[in-house]
Structure formats: structure tokens, C-alpha cells
Amino acid sequence: MPTIQDVAKRAGVAPITVSRVINNSGYFSEETRERVEAAIAELGYVPNRLARGLRIKQTNTLALVLTDITNPFFTTLARGVEDAAGEAGFTVTFCNTDESEAKEQKYLEVFLQQQVDGILLVPAGSSPDSVHTAQKNGTPVVVIDRRVPDVSTDSVRCDSEAGAYKLVRLLQDLGHRRIAMLGGPEGISTADDRLAGYRRAMAEIGQTGNGDLVQSGSFTMSSGYEMVKTAVAKTPRPTAIFAANNFLAIGALRGLQDCGLRVPEDVALVGFDDLPPALTTFPFLTVAAQPAYDLAQIATKLLLARLAGEAPETCQEIILQTELIIRQSSGGSLIRNGGCDRSLE
């Protein structure tokens, strides 16, 4: 009985390409289509729908797709994945997409050709294509950190909307009303959800039209630097800044310093994601901390259970909560508990 590998060999392509031609999905040239179809006819290959649902072979390898490997949040995520995978006898191969959906799709095809057993994906945007490509190949995917619409797959992330809401409510409890937001790229779910949390908190104090206080940029320090300078140039000047991730907060801090503004004396500053203690000799930022390591462990163990046929039948959506850690950057009176500063919940 000819196999997909026989067809691939006869046509001179990778098995994943044969799968794409059969499913008419993903990229391949007309010439490739003709070669594959000729090989199928010559060999009398009959695609087995059940077999297509099975992986071509077990390689004990997981793929991890990250968007910014320079970000400590993602390196902590990678650490959690590698620890959980290693305990189960799996190796991890990873890539960095720089928030590019084109790079993401390219890497997905490479990983499928390498026949990884499962994929942990931080999506670069909101396209379902990568998840669909993997699933058509019979490779399970767990989406981590972010949401992707129109897919049925396991996912593990933090509640960005609630985390943002808690941070902005804290600023309001400290007396701030003109609170500027430095947001991430529209269309990325963590950016959209943090903006939604900000808007919910601002609506509770009767502020709905905060157009002049909200900016969207990229999850980078340079974007935080530029956006905060724009924010504090407005009159009346905002008295507080909410940065939608760690790099935006660091960039904002540098921008405020270059504008001659002190934190928190002149402007309060809060952000998403804590920075690893090893990187901060003096933890200063008030943050909504995401449990990146735990998130990674949960997602990896879910993927391994899916591979072993031990996961629940239905797709799992696991949402973890952030932890509000109050430090000097938000100003106001602090409740100190055990060396770290915590708000009264």
C-alpha cells in the first residue's frame, strides 16, 4: 500500500507538501501540484482520512513559536516549556517570529516538515492559518499567551483585561483621573484585551472618550519611549501612565526621564509583566505580573496529554490571573507585606 512518503519521494517533495496538495491548503506551485497528482496516480495512493489524522511518525520533539525572544516574559516562558518537555523525555525546538505572520507561517512549515509532534504557539497576529495548517497535518497546537479567533484548539493565557483593569483602578484609587495608555499593536489579543481593561476602568469614573489619552504602538522600548513623550506633551498633562507590557514601561521610564519628569513624583507609571529579579537590582515598577513559567508548564503538560490521548475530548481554554505587585512607580501610600508591596485586594 503506497504511503504519503512514497508519493513525496516520487514527486520529489516533502510529505507536508503532499498533504497540502491533497488538502489544497498552504503554498505550493501549479507545477508541484501536477507532480504530486501524477505521483498519486502512478502509485495508486489513496489518502486515508484516518491516517491523515495521525502523525507521520513520533519524533519526541515539540516546537515553540515565540514572538520576541529578547523579552524576559518569553524567555521565562521558554524555560517553563523546556523544563516540562524535558521531564517527559521530549526535546524542544524554537523560533522567533518578530510579530510577523509571514515568518510564523514559514516556521510552521519547517516544523511540520521536521515532523514535530506538537506545537506551542504565541501567535504573531490574529490569523488562524498557522493553527489550521498544523491541524490539517495532524499536529496538535496549544496557543499560548494570546487568543486566535475562529480556531478550535487548546489555549493557555492570562486574563489581560482583568489585569489592566486592576492596574488602572489602582491609579484611580490613588487619585489619578488623567491616565494615559501606551498600548500594543491593535489586533494582537493581549494588546486589545489590555485596552479593554483600561476602558472599563475609565468608564467607571465617567471617562469614555479618552481618545487623546490612548495610543497604540509596538511591544518595544522605543515605542514606549516615543509614545510617552507624546502623552506628556498634552495639556493638561496626564498624571499617570499605563504601559501595556514590560518593554513599553521601560521605554516610558526612559522617555519620562528625558523629559525631566520624575516617577512617581511628577508622573505615576504602571505596566504589565514583572521583570525577573535577576534583571532588576531595585524592583521599582508597579506591575500586573503574569505567571509566565506556570503558564508555560500548564500549556506544555496539556500538549503532552493531548499527544498521549489523555487530554479531555473538548478543547481546553485555560485562563490564569495576573498578580498586582505595587511598588514605588505608582506613588501613593503602599501596603507593605513580606518585603514586597501588595495592594489590599
Q: x/- site string to ligand RIB, residues 227 to 266, per CB under 6 A?
A: ------------------xx--------------------
The alpha-helical segments, DSSP class H, found in 44-159 are: 49-52, 72-87, 101-113, 129-136
Q: How many residues bind ligand RIB (CB under 6 A)?
A: 11
Q: How far is the CB of 163 from ligand RIB (least distance, A)?
A: 9
Contact 323, 171 (CB under 8 A): no
What element of type H or E holds 143? strand 141-144
Please list the residues that pair with 342 across neighbouring strands. 325
User: Between 92 and 124, whose beta carbon lies closer to ligand RIB?
Assistant: 124
Contacts of 69 by beta carbon, 8 Å cutoff, 6+ apart: 75, 78, 94, 96
**CA gap 65, 50 in Å, rounded:** 28
Q: What string of DSSP letters covers 174-235?
A: TT---EEEEE--TTSHHHHHHHHHHHHHHHTTT----GGGEEE--SSHHHHHHHHHHHHTSS
Q: Is 218 in the site for ligand RIB (CB under 6 A)?
A: no
Q: Is 145 in the site for ligand RIB (CB under 6 A)?
A: yes
42-71 residues in contact with ligand RIB (CB under 6 A) are: 71
Nearest CA among 59, 151, 67, 186 for reference residue 114: 59
Q: How far is the CB of 232 from ligand RIB (least distance, A)?
A: 23
Q: How far is the CB of 259 from ligand RIB (least distance, A)?
A: 24
CA 5 to chain CA mean position, Å: 34
**From the list 184, 224, 264, 271, which residue makes contact with ligand RIB (rule: CB under 6 A)?**
184
Q: Is 198 in the site for ligand RIB (CB under 6 A)?
A: no
Please list the residues that pair with 215 across neighbouring strands. 182
User: Between 26 and 163, whose beta carbon lies closer to ligand RIB?
Assistant: 163
Q: How far is the CB of 98 from ligand RIB (least distance, A)?
A: 13
Q: How far is the CB of 105 from ligand RIB (least distance, A)?
A: 19
Q: How far is the CB of 271 from ligand RIB (least distance, A)?
A: 9
263-282 residues in contact with ligand RIB (CB under 6 A) are: 272-273
User: Between 117 and 273, whose beta carbon lies closer to ligand RIB?
Assistant: 273
- The cell numbers describing 138, all together, are 495532524
User: Between 90 and 272, whose beta carbon lies closer to ligand RIB?
Assistant: 272
CA 159 to chain CA mean position, Å: 12
Contact residues for ligand RIB (CB under 6 A)?
Answer: 71, 73, 145-146, 184, 190, 219, 245-246, 272-273
